[in-house]
Amino acid sequence: MLRLSKLFVRTLRDDPSDAEVPSHRLLVRAGYIRRAAPGGYTWLPLGWRVLRKVEDIVRQEMDAMGAQEVHFPALLPRDVYEATGRWTEYGDNLFRLKDRKGADFLLGPTHEEMFTLLVKDMYSSYKDLPVSLYQIQTKYRDEARPRAGLLRGREFLMKDSYSFDIDDDALAVSYAQHRDAYERIFARLQLPYVIVKAMSGAMGGSMSEEFLAPIEVGEDTFVRCSACDYSANTEAVTTSSPAADSNTYDASSTIATPNCPTIATLVDLLNANHPRTDRSWEAHDTLKNVVLRLRQPDGSTETLVIGVPGDREVDMKRIEAQLSPAEVEPLDEEGFAQHRTLIRGYIGPQVLGTTSTSGIRYLVDPSVVHGSAWVTGANTKDTHVIHLVHGRDFTADGTIEAVEVAAGDPCPNCSAPLEIARGIEIGHVFQLGRKYADKLGLTVLDHNGKQVVVTMGSYGIGVSRAVASIAEVFHDDIGLKWPRAIAPADVHVVVTGKNGDDITIAGEKIAVELEAQGLDVLIDDRNGVSPGVKFKDAELIGIPTILVVGKSLAEGNVELRDRHTGTNEAIPVADAVTRVVALARSGQ
Amino acid sequence: MLRLSKLFVRTLRDDPSDAEVPSHRLLVRAGYIRRAAPGGYTWLPLGWRVLRKVEDIVRQEMDAMGAQEVHFPALLPRDVYEATGRWTEYGDNLFRLKDRKGADFLLGPTHEEMFTLLVKDMYSSYKDLPVSLYQIQTKYRDEARPRAGLLRGREFLMKDSYSFDIDDDALAVSYAQHRDAYERIFARLQLPYVIVKAMSGAMGGSMSEEFLAPIEVGEDTFVRCSACDYSANTEAVTTSSPAADSNTYDASSTIATPNCPTIATLVDLLNANHPRTDRSWEAHDTLKNVVLRLRQPDGSTETLVIGVPGDREVDMKRIEAQLSPAEVEPLDEEGFAQHRTLIRGYIGPQVLGTTSTSGIRYLVDPSVVHGSAWVTGANTKDTHVIHLVHGRDFTADGTIEAVEVAAGDPCPNCSAPLEIARGIEIGHVFQLGRKYADKLGLTVLDHNGKQVVVTMGSYGIGVSRAVASIAEVFHDDIGLKWPRAIAPADVHVVVTGKNGDDITIAGEKIAVELEAQGLDVLIDDRNGVSPGVKFKDAELIGIPTILVVGKSLAEGNVELRDRHTGTNEAIPVADAVTRVVALARSGQ
């Protein structure tokens, strides 16, 4: 039995000053976690119970699908990650250190390499496959901006698993099994989710989907089609490429555009001084050229210009996802100073491209189709050019999905309008393919006695992040409201009496009986704490069933409170144990 | 059910080349662990099951004694360890690293500081005490010589707990509770242990005891009295100081001692050239002066000379334990070159001591009592001095326990002869006292409303090391022999048939029935593997009960093998499930 008189917990009336999101605020206030380091949290007894319940559900479902649990060190030698290039590619996100002999180590951010080598070490034949292995282990990432408590930490608990198959068809089966297991896990955690198409990022590989919990404080943005089943992380949205424009346009011409600091003022000037005959000029007729600096993990940099229609915003996260592992930032003053060709506010593609005199790589959003005409900078101050046609007057080095996806944009699948929302990434399933097996030499003998490279999948669930995500979904202004499967106890018995009085004796008796029925019982047996404070703490801590043993005992009643529905019900004290046990066993 | 046809395991016929001790050799060969890094091991499914069973037993007993489980990050900020001096004191044993902003971090070797600060953060009154907190967490130490597999790793699983009390009497109670819990834990693990007096080392504090498993490959040496209940790590043995010698000796005189490279040759020369009247000279009449270099964690060094009787060996571990956190090594050539006073082979205390001309600190073993006379070096080549009396002709700066304790040495308690043995440290209980609370400001209000410093205990069990220690105790030449409480399964069913034959059908049926009875079943259902190989693997893997379903099925029998006693018994197939279930439930 957990006794609040002894339990190592202190509830706080005030929000911690560094808490940005409800889960962080409430988990700290209710005494589940405490900040211990930047991006590092200590689990207090209540929080640890919740984390372990989540971990157990994950473990049970992984075991049930036939995956086998192993456990790797977190402190890993450099050479393995060097072999796949990730020692460098991970950039600043990797914690690196040296041992006393000066040898290089890292703290594992994920364990693709280690799993690949382990299977290579142990297995050698197609008969050994398929095999799926997993671990539930502490991971380390040197996040630039740890934030939102457990949602983005530098040390966190993760379930990572890896499948090993002889061919692509078998990988598809392993992938589907993991995906199904994840659906069962999140259902048991009562964590709502959307499965969206995802970018593969630095991992390489092909098919990749994320499980996103649709929560406003999430860092990911995703789209869902209102008509078909399309859904994707905005990073992974590939817009349908419109057909090439076959119109014939006037020859391009340079025009004077003084005092046009914005696209709106440029459009006004065009309509005033150079009116179109068919319609007025609009922002979407202009071509905006954004100058970026790419920084590769090895430290090398490159200037890159991306062209997008002037009416659209640029989405740095989408761009970065496609250019990963490079980091992307707007070119700074110093950078511009090194490129005399680039006249800020008047940049046009006439001088861009790897084959141009500037040699600067130039990419365009797919909406800048071949044959389309644009108003854009003339690379001279106070001057633009009109009727500049893609393919006739300028070329690009390629395309990149660059504009911010907006609600109402056409679905790439069926063209119906897209909906847009934010979410927290709670799971990721991923057909890695042969990248790691190739680099680390994981082959097996196939049916014909020939060495073939094994194909892999990788699958992750953020276990500590799941706790925070559940808290984001299940809370209100006054506290947490845990789903029963992961609540730190089945019932919170609030005893409002004083040491030795009838109320206390009755409360203790009920608590003992509930425990004898196999329930996890938290009892508020603190002496000298007012009923009001006890009620507030019960609401804050958020165990789904609260049983109040108090003044109404005089009439033979206790009070059954449901933290989810907010209902209070007076029930005869004789029924208390039966009712609470029934609730706990109902799983609701 | 664990099926060897699918289980991620490969048994090895040959010992791994780097394995020095049986536990390491067998855990690798039987497919429980695999080396992943220097001092870092991967737990394979069988090993992970054993580790988790040990962890569960530790957790249950810690919970039962009222300790509460929390969990800290392993990646910790420098400032906390700086406040207690351990950032420096830990020396090269600490893994240090920087984050992307250049801030200093460490990987936690133990968490005294973090627990102290957590209690300071949460508690403020004597009413909150006592409290005992624990975690089962991965620890990191940059061992100079990781060795013996799991016995001394750089990344390992440890249960560390800490008690917080208002005064020394209360601390004694918390200490006793932990000590009792440890006795219950090791009893459940069937791990034999001796509780010995221990040095407190770098931790500070007073009362300290170790639980040592008496195993020859252990790194610790301990003594036990043959008559009383005295037992101690040799590091912690304090020899009884003999009374000061009140004899009157001749004046000291210098003698020529050419060609005396050893103490034996010196004694021979003495007896030949300078015979005593009462008895012959012995090695114990000579004083041997050992020159050491101390290296403090901050890098500073000091030359130190220690005097011991010439018939005794010097024990560097004992010396180091008393000089911790300094590291100790014999002075090298270069060091001697810096001290012209020190003539190797002829060093005498006449020129030693902090107040001497050399200024070199000089300590003596307690057996070099005040008033005793010695033959020792005269600080000139080929010359010694006789009748050199401690207190008359030389002084020391203090005493240090320096000689190797030997079997038969007198018990410090009752003077009966000591026994000596080696062991593995499996647990440590420790009255830390107020060192950490003082330095980190952990105070509470006492009954009188006065701020008092909290007193602490710290208690550790090496969980992964316990697995190896159990394997050291329970194995033979052909494999492991797990105690039932932590075996990876209750029964190992060996089926020697081929797919689809009667033997296989019968074996599968029995395995399913055993599982239905709640047993953890490992079945060797591999097709095309010979019975001989299967038997060898079963012996290597070491599950206590092996049930062979094989040829004798034709006579209606199966074979029940006990891995501990080595007995084989033919039993009717109809009795198999009942018999195995009874064995599993007996706990034997």
Report chain B residues whose CB lies below 8 A from the CB of A131: 6, 8
CA distance B220 to B213: 10
- The amino acid sitting at A416 is A
Q: Do A118 and B92 touch (CB under 8 A)?
A: no
Tens digit of each residue's pLDDT (9 = 90 or more) over A413-448: 898 999 999 999 999 999 999 999 999 999 999 999
Which CATH number does the domain housing residue B206 bear? 3.30.930.10
Tens digit of each residue's pLDDT (9 = 90 or more) over B62-72: 999 999 999 99
pLDDT of A89 reads 87
Examine residue B3 and state whether it is found in any structural domain, yes or no: no
Q: Do A38 and B99 touch (CB under 8 A)?
A: yes
Are both B129 and B23 inside the same structural domain? yes
> Please, is B449 exposed, middle or buried when counting C-beta atoms within 10 Å of its C-beta (0-12, 13-18, 19+)?
exposed
How many angstroms separate the Cα of B571 from the Cα of each of A141, A478, B552? 57, 65, 10
- The amino acid sitting at A439 is K
Nearest to B69 among A45, A114, A155 (CB): A45
User: Nearest 5°: phi and psi at A468?
Assistant: -65, -40
Instruction: State the Cα torsion B478-B484-B488-B494 to the nearest 10°.
Output: 60
The arithmetic mean of pLDDT across residues A293-302, rounded, is 90
Tens digit of each residue's pLDDT (9 = 90 or more) over A344-402: 889 999 999 999 888 999 999 999 999 999 999 999 999 999 999 999 999 999 999 99
pLDDT at B173 over 90: yes
CA distance A147 to A153: 7
Examine residue A445 and state whether it is found in any structural domain, yes or no: yes
CA distance A422 to A215: 6
Tens digit of each residue's pLDDT (9 = 90 or more) over B404-432: 999 999 898 898 999 999 999 999 999 99
Q: Would you give the DSSP letter of residue A409?
A: P
DSSP characters over B265-309: HHHHHHHHHS--SSS---GGGBEEEEEEEEE-TTS-EEEEEEEEE
pLDDT at A204 over 60: no
The arithmetic mean of pLDDT across residues A21-27, rounded, is 94
Q: Is cis: bond before B325, omega within 30 of 0?
A: yes
Measured N-to-C along each axis, helices B168-188 and B45-64 cross at an angle, to the nearest 10 degrees, of 140
pLDDT at B186 over 70: yes
Cβ-contact B75, A107 below 8 angstroms: yes
Q: Do B73 and A142 touch (CB under 8 A)?
A: no
Are both B494 and B522 inside the same structural domain? yes
Which CATH number does the domain housing residue A312 bear? 3.90.960.10
Are both B351 and B216 inside the same structural domain? no
What is the CA B304 to chain-centroid distance, rounded? 27
Are both B496 and B436 inside the same structural domain? no
Strands (E), A13-124: 33-37, 40-43, 68-69, 75-77, 96-98, 104-107
Distance from CA of A11 to the nearest CA of B (A): 9
Q: Do A92 and B105 touch (CB under 8 A)?
A: no
pLDDT at A85 over 50: yes
For an interface test with B, the pick among A34, A100, A116 (most B C-beta atoms closer than 10 Å) comes out as: A100
pLDDT at A406 over 50: yes
Q: Would you give the DSSP letter of residue A416?
A: P
**pLDDT, averaged across chain A:** 93
Distance from CA of A77 to the nearest CA of B (A): 6
Are both A29 and A162 inside the same structural domain? yes
Are both B459 and B516 inside the same structural domain? no
CA distance A431 to A204: 9
Nearest to A97 among B42, B71, B96 (CB): B96
pLDDT of A588 reads 64
Are both A33 and A68 inside the same structural domain? yes
**pLDDT, averaged across chain B:** 93
pLDDT of A419 reads 94
Tens digit of each residue's pLDDT (9 = 90 or more) over B462-502: 999 999 999 999 999 999 999 999 999 999 999 998 888 99
Cβ-contact A87, A106 below 8 angstroms: yes
Q: Do A100 and B92 touch (CB under 8 A)?
A: yes
Report chain B residues whose CB lies below 8 A from the CB of A34: 118, 121-122
Of the listed ranges B79-93, B483-497, B547-561, the least confidently predicted one is B79-93
pLDDT at A214 over 80: yes
- The amino acid sitting at A79 is D
Which residue stretches of B19-66 are H helix?
22-29, 45-64
The arithmetic mean of pLDDT across residues B371-390, rounded, is 93
Examine residue A458 and state whether it is found in any structural domain, yes or no: yes
Q: Do B118 and A34 touch (CB under 8 A)?
A: yes
Nearest to B49 by CA among B480, B481, B467, B580: B467
Tens digit of each residue's pLDDT (9 = 90 or more) over B271-301: 999 998 899 999 999 999 999 999 988 889 9
Nearest to A34 among B34, B66, B121 (CB): B121
User: Nearest 5°: phi and psi at B330?
Assistant: -60, 145
pLDDT at B240 over 90: no
> Please, is A277 exposed, middle or buried when counting C-beta atoms within 10 Å of its C-beta (0-12, 13-18, 19+)?
exposed
From A472, A498, A531, give the residue that closes a domain.
A472
Nearest to A70 among B37, B48, B68 (CB): B48
Tens digit of each residue's pLDDT (9 = 90 or more) over A65-82: 999 999 999 999 999 999
Residue of B nearest to A119 (CA): B8
In DSSP terms, A133 is beta-bridged to: A68, A162
Examine residue B242 and state whether it is found in any structural domain, yes or no: no
CA distance A387 to A404: 25
CA distance A161 to B2: 19
C-alpha angle A472/A475/A476, rounded to 5°?
125
CA distance B558 to A414: 65
Nearest to A140 among B75, B133, B142 (CB): B75
pLDDT of B145 reads 85
Give the three-class secondary structure for B60: helix
Q: Is cis: bond before B192, omega within 30 of 0?
A: no
Distance from CA of B18 to the nearest CA of A (A): 16
For an interface test with A, the pick among B54, B65, B70 (most A C-beta atoms closer than 10 Å) comes out as: B70
| Max CA pair span of chain B | 96
Examine residue A105 and state whether it is found in any structural domain, yes or no: yes
Cβ-contact A437, A455 below 8 angstroms: yes
Strands (E), A198-311: 208-213, 220-225, 231-233, 253-256, 287-295, 301-309
pLDDT of B299 reads 86
Examine residue B83 and state whether it is found in any structural domain, yes or no: no
pLDDT band with cut points at 50, 70 and 90 for residue A226: confident
The arithmetic mean of pLDDT across residues A465-477, rounded, is 96
What is the value of pTM for the model shown? 0.91
CA distance B3 to B366: 62
Q: Do B76 and A107 touch (CB under 8 A)?
A: no
Q: Do A154 and B92 touch (CB under 8 A)?
A: no
Are both A467 and A355 inside the same structural domain? no
Residue of B nearest to A74 (CA): B155
pLDDT: is B125 or A206 the higher one?
Answer: B125
pLDDT at A51 over 90: yes
Examine residue A158 and state whether it is found in any structural domain, yes or no: yes
DSSP characters over B523-550: EE--TT--HHHHHHHHHHHT-SEEEEES
How many angstroms separate the Cα of B298 from the Cα of each of A566, B92, B94? 60, 10, 13
Tens digit of each residue's pLDDT (9 = 90 or more) over A115-151: 999 999 999 999 999 999 999 999 999 998 888 888 8
Ramachandran sector of residue A575 (left: φ over 0; alpha: ψ -120 to 50; beta: rest)? alpha
Are both A153 and A300 inside the same structural domain? no
For an interface test with A, the pick among B12, B34, B68 (most A C-beta atoms closer than 10 Å) comes out as: B68
pLDDT at A202 over 80: no
The arithmetic mean of pLDDT across residues A37-64, rounded, is 97
Distance from CA of A221 to the nearest CA of B (A): 27
pLDDT at B205 over 70: no
Are both A460 and A498 inside the same structural domain? no
pLDDT of A205 reads 54
The residue to which tokens 């049986």 are assigned = B22
Q: Do A66 and B103 touch (CB under 8 A)?
A: no
CA distance B209 to B211: 7
Are both A346 and A444 inside the same structural domain? no
Examine residue A459 and state whether it is found in any structural domain, yes or no: yes
Which CATH number does the domain housing residue B531 bear? 3.40.50.800
Distance from CA of A242 to the nearest CA of B (A): 43
% chain A with pLDDT above 90: 80
Q: Do A69 and B45 touch (CB under 8 A)?
A: yes
% chain A with pLDDT above 70: 98
For an interface test with A, the pick among B100, B131, B156 (most A C-beta atoms closer than 10 Å) comes out as: B100
Residue A556, domain extent? 489-586
Residue A57: how many other CB atoms lie within 10 Å: 20
User: Nearest 5°: phi and psi at A309?
Assistant: -60, 140
Give the three-class secondary structure for A422: strand
Q: Tell me, what's the ipTM?
A: 0.90
pLDDT of B203 reads 47
Are both A462 and A493 inside the same structural domain? no
- B195's enclosing H/E stretch is strand B194-197
pLDDT of A310 reads 93
Number of domain units in chain A = 3
pLDDT of A500 reads 83
Distance from CA of A427 to the nearest CA of B (A): 22
pLDDT of A199 reads 79
Contacts of B476 (CB under 8 A, 6+ apart): none
Inter-chain contacts counted by CB atoms under 8 A, chains A and B: 134
pLDDT of A203 reads 47
